């Protein structure tokens, strides 16, 4: 598929138990997944969900028990695929005696880049991640946020088509998180595909085009953030503050609604039900100030799925 950046067909990973009588560990159950080119894709799940296993399989760090995966049409784990990948691991570490520029030079050499290209790309990327003034400072003096910025520059060094970022904003202050989001958005503008792992669901909600939620080795939900968080049956109707008491007295006439202060939350199967509720409110000469569908946050959805079996 020409516009598919990552294609996964029945990918599965079973680890053998460490003891004689121990059971195999089904870290990733057969997975089917296509990630379009040029999108920011977010992968969510609790610890042990299979996220890290999936990323390791795509990077060729571990090998599948069954199934296949391709990256831009190249078999995952091959040298050809690795040439077009950038990777920022979680909790990455660099030799403390290296400078920021030294880290980029080292990884540039590992990637097979020539010296002029390393010099040019390093200068460009240090500017992009706002680390130019720290380029000649040793890593041991870097804060966690500075380490994340250098790590992001390293992941972009070989100008990859597909970039895997594991917790890219971990330990970064709010201003820094916004700046990193802007860098990721710029990568998308360049046609790059970004595969993002993060426990900061608010960050994922802000930047990702599509999101997948994994639990116990399975893909349990996937879609755009808007699709996943839409709760079309729940509506929020707000009235003027001065009409709080009248609204409270009115609520028994609308059994699918609950009232708190000047807000009515209405469960409605159809738009006709919403309009009927509004007509009832207005017939009591209560002024309606706002009507809008209520949406779950991505965090609420995630918790529902993981703790209450919301995926079933």
CATH code for the domain in which residue 303 is found: 3.30.70
Calculate the CA dihedral of residues 230, 232, 238, 244 and round it to 10 degrees.
-120
Please check whether residues 221 and 295 belong to one and the same domain.
Answer: no
If asked whether residues 206 and 269 sit together in one domain, one would say no
Domain final residue pick, 183, 208, 227: 227
**Domain boundary residue, one of 176, 200, 227:** 227
Q: Are residues 256 and 160 in the same domain?
A: no
Positive or negative, the CA dihedral 289, 294, 300, 302 is: negative
Q: How far apart are the two ends of the chain, measured CA to CA in Å?
A: 30
pLDDT score for 229: 77
| CA 298/CA 228 separation, integer angstroms | 7
* Cα dihedral 174, 189, 154, 225 sign: positive
What's residue 256's pLDDT?
Answer: 85
195 and 254 within one domain: no
Do 239 and 299 belong together in one domain? yes
140 and 250 in a common domain: no
| Boundary residue ending a domain (227, 243, 277) | 227
Number of domains in the chain: 2
State residue 159's pLDDT score: 94
- Whether 256 and 132 map to the same domain: the answer is no
Residue 67 belongs to domain with CATH number: 3.40.50.300
Place of tokens 């299979």: 50
67 and 101, same domain (yes or no): yes
Supply the angle between the helices 100-110 and 144-156 in degrees, to the nearest 10: 30
For residues 82 and 96, state if they share a domain.
Answer: yes
219, HSE (Cβ side, Cα atoms, 13 Å): 17
Structural tokens at position 256 = 């699918």
Range of the domain at 283: 230-308
101 and 128 in a single domain? The answer is: yes
What is residue 33's predicted lDDT score, i.e. its pLDDT? 94
121 plus 216 within the same structural domain: yes
Closest CA to 295 of 238, 213, 210, 232: 232
Q: Which residues of the chain have pLDDT under 50?
A: 1-2, 310-312
Q: Which tokens is 214 given?
A: 């994994």
Is 252 found in the same domain as 189? no
Q: Report whether 199 contacts 213 (CB < 8 A).
A: no
């Amino acid at each position: 598929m020409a516009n598919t950046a990552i294609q996964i067909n029945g990918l599965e990973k079973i680890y053998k138990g460490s003891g004689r009588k121990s059971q195999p560990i089904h870290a990733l159950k057969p997975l089917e997944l296509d990630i379009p080119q040029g999108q920011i894709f977010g992968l969510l799940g609790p610890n042990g969900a299979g996220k890290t296993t999936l990323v390791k399989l795509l990077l060729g760090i571990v090998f599948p028990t069954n199934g296949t995966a391709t990256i831009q049409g190249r078999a995952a784990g091959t040298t050809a695929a690795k040439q077009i990948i950038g990777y920022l691991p979680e909790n990455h570490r660099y030799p403390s005696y290296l400078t920021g520029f030294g880290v980029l030079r080292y990884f540039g050499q590992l990637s097979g880049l020539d010296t002029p290209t390393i010099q040019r790309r390093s200068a460009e990327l240090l500017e992009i991640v706002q680390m130019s003034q720290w380029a000649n400072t040793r890593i041991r003096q870097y804060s966690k946020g500075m380490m994340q910025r250098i790590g992001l520059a390293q992941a972009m060094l070989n100008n990859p088509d597909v970039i895997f970022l594991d917790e890219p904003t971990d330990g970064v202050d709010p201003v820094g998180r916004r700046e990193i989001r802007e860098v990721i958005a710029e990568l998308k503008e360049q046609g790059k595909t970004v595969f993002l792992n993060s426990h900061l669901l608010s960050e994922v909600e802000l930047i990702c085009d599509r999101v997948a939620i994994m639990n116990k080795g399975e893909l349990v939900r996937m879609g755009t953030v808007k699709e996943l968080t839409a709760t079309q049956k729940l509506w929020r109707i707000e009235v003027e503050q001065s009409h709080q008491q009248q609204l409270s007295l009115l609520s028994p006439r609308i059994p699918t609604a609950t009232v708190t202060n000047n807000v009515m939350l209405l469960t409605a199967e159809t738009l006709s039900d919403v309009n009927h509720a509004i007509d009832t409110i207005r017939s009591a000469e209560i002024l309606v100030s706002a009507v809008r569908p209520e949406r779950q946050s991505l965090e609420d959805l995630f918790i529902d799925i993981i703790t209450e079996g919301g995926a079933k």
